[in-house]
Amino acid sequence: MASIREKYLQWRNKALPASKHNIIDVHRRMSDEISKLDSRLDTLCNILADIRRSQIAKAERDAWIEFSALPSSHEESKPELVSHSNWMPHLSAKFNRPGIRILEIGSRNVTGGATRIPFSAAHYIGFDCYDGENVDVVGDAHKLSSYFRDEEKFDLILSSAVFEHFHMPWVVAHEIQKLLKVGGYVFVETHFSFSFHEKPWNFFQFSNMGLRALFNTALGFDLIDSGMSNPMNGVFSQEADEYLRGKPVGELYCHSEILCRKSRDVSEFDWSQVGIDVVGDNTRYPSPTGITA
C-alpha cells in the first residue's frame, strides 16, 4: 500500500513534470496560450467597442435627425422669387442679356463658383475688397460710388453673404442707391443665424426686416420680394449658463433675402431724418399684453 508521501509524489509528477526542462516547456506553452487568449480578447473588445461606437453614433444621428424634424415655430416664409436656392436662376433669367449692366459686391471667388458665368451675356463687373478670381475692381464698398463715373449706373447690384461683414451696412446701402439706375434692382442675401466667421470681421446678422430697414422707401426703394430661407432648430449647449442648457431655440433661419427696385433718385439723404414708419415699414414693436397702440 502506497504511503501518503508516495501518493503525493505521484500526484505532483502528474500535475507538474519533474524535470526543469518540462517545467520551462509547460510555462512556455501556457504563456503562448495566454497570449493567444489575450489577442482574441483584445480583438473581441475592439469589435465590441466598434459596435458600441456605431450604436452611439447612430443614436446621436437619429437624435439629431429627430431634433431637426421637430415641429417648431418657423413662421417666416421664404421669398417667392429670390430664396436661397432660387435667387441666382431668377436674376440670371431676368438680367442676363446684352446691354444690361450688373455689379456684384463681394464678387471674389471663395466658395468655388464665379457669379460672372450666369451673367455672361450682360456687362458684369465684380467688386471686392481684395483682388482675386472674378474681381474687376478692388475697393471699399463703403465708398462704392467713388470708384465709378457718374454716368456708370447699373441695372442690377447684387451681394451674397457679404453684408454681415460691413461695419456700416447702412452706408453701403446708400452707396448702392447712388449707383443704381432709376428702375434698377438691388438684391442682397445675408445671414440671420450662422456661425461666427471671417473673424473678427463678422459685424451683423440680419432678418428680412433688417434688410428692409436698410433698403427703405425714404432711400427710394420699393420692395419686390423678401423673406427667410432654410429654417434651423437650435439648442443651448452645455457651455451655456446653467438655466439655459439644453433649451431649444426656435425661429432660426440661415439666410435672409431682399429684392428691391429703385423708384426714384434721392439727393441729400440723411439717416437721422428717416422716420420710424419708414425704417419699420409701417410696423410697430409688439406692444405689451393688454396695451393697445
pLDDT in tens, 36-74: 777 787 888 888 888 888 776 666 666 555 665 665 667
In a domain, 224, yes or no: yes
Q: What is the pLDDT of residue 126?
A: 96
Name, in order, each residue with C-beta under 8 angstroms of 165's C-beta and a sequence gap of 6 or more: 106, 198, 201, 202, 203
Residue at 250 is within a domain: yes
Q: Kindly tell me if the per-residue pLDDT of 142 is higher than 80.
A: yes
Claim to verify: residue 208 and residue 143 sit in the same structural domain: yes
Q: Is 206 part of any domain?
A: yes
> Is residue 51 assigned to a domain?
yes
**Is 285 inside a domain boundary?**
no
pLDDT at position 15 is 61
Which residue is it, cell 471674389? 108
91 and 228 in a single domain? The answer is yes
- 197-246: per-residue pLDDT in tens? 889 999 999 999 999 999 999 999 999 999 999 998 888 888 889 888 88
Work out the average pLDDT over 263-282.
90
Residue 154, domain member (yes or no)? yes
At 123 the pLDDT is: 97
Instruction: For residue range 150-167, list pLDDT tens digits in order.
Output: 889 999 999 999 999 999
Between the alpha carbon of residue 164 and those of residues 7, 66, 198, the distances in Å are 93, 31, 10
What mean pLDDT is predicted for residues 189-202?
A: 91
Do residues 116 and 201 share a domain?
A: yes
Give me the chain's average pLDDT, please: 86
Q: Interior CA angle at 73 toward 71 and 74, to 5°?
A: 100
What is the span of the domain harbouring residue 253? 87-279
**Mean pLDDT, residues 182-208:** 94
Q: Are 265 and 210 members of one domain?
A: yes
CA distance 252 to 195: 12
- Number of domains making up the chain: 2
In this structure, the answer to whether residues 51 and 124 fall within a common structural domain is no
Distance CA 79, CA 227 (A): 4
Average pLDDT over residues 267-292: 85
**217 and 264 both lie in a single domain:** yes
Amino acid at site 51: I
The backbone region for 128, taken as left when phi is positive above 0, alpha when psi lies in -120 to 50, beta otherwise, is beta
Residue pair 137/125 in contact by the 8 Å Cβ criterion = yes
Q: Are 193 and 84 in contact (CB under 8 A)?
A: no
Place of cell 450688373: 102
Answer yes or no: do 19 and 107 share one domain. Answer: no
Mean per-residue pLDDT, 123-135: 94
| Cell numbers found for residue 1 | 500500500
Between CA 289 and CA 273 the distance in angstroms is: 31
Verify that 172 and 219 share a domain, yes or no: yes
Please tell me whether residues 178 and 274 are part of one structural domain. yes
Q: In this structure, what C-alpha cell is assigned to residue 44?
A: 473581441
C-alpha–C-alpha distance, residues 84 and 120, integer Å: 21
**Cα separation, 293 vs 289, whole angstroms:** 11
Domain-embedded: residue 82: no
- For the chain, the DSSP string reads ---HHHHHHHHHHHHS-SSHHHHHHHHHHHHHHHHHHHHHHHHHHHHHHHHHHHHHHHHHHHHHHHHHTS-----PPPPSS--TTTHHHHHHHHH-STT-EEEEES----SS--TTGGGTTSEEEEEESS--TT-SEE--GGGGGGGS-TT--EEEEEEES-GGG-SSHHHHHHHHHHHEEEEEEEEEEEESS----STT-------HHHHHHHS-GGGTEEEEEEEEEEEEEEE--TTS-TTTTT-EEEEEEEEEEEEEEE-S---S--GGG--HHHHTTT--PPPPTT---
Q: Per residue in 12-22, pLDDT tens?
A: 666 655 555 56
User: Does residue 72 fall inside a structural domain?
Assistant: no
User: Is the same domain home to 51 and 172?
Assistant: no
Q: What is the pLDDT of residue 141?
A: 97
pLDDT of residue 89: 95
Q: Does residue 31 sit in the same domain as residue 156?
A: no
Grid coordinates of 137: 475692381
Domain with residue 102: its CATH number is 3.40.50.150
Among 37, 190, 182, 44, CA closest to 105: 190
Pick the last residue of a domain from 15, 40, 55. 55
The reply to whether 255 and 135 lie within a common domain is yes
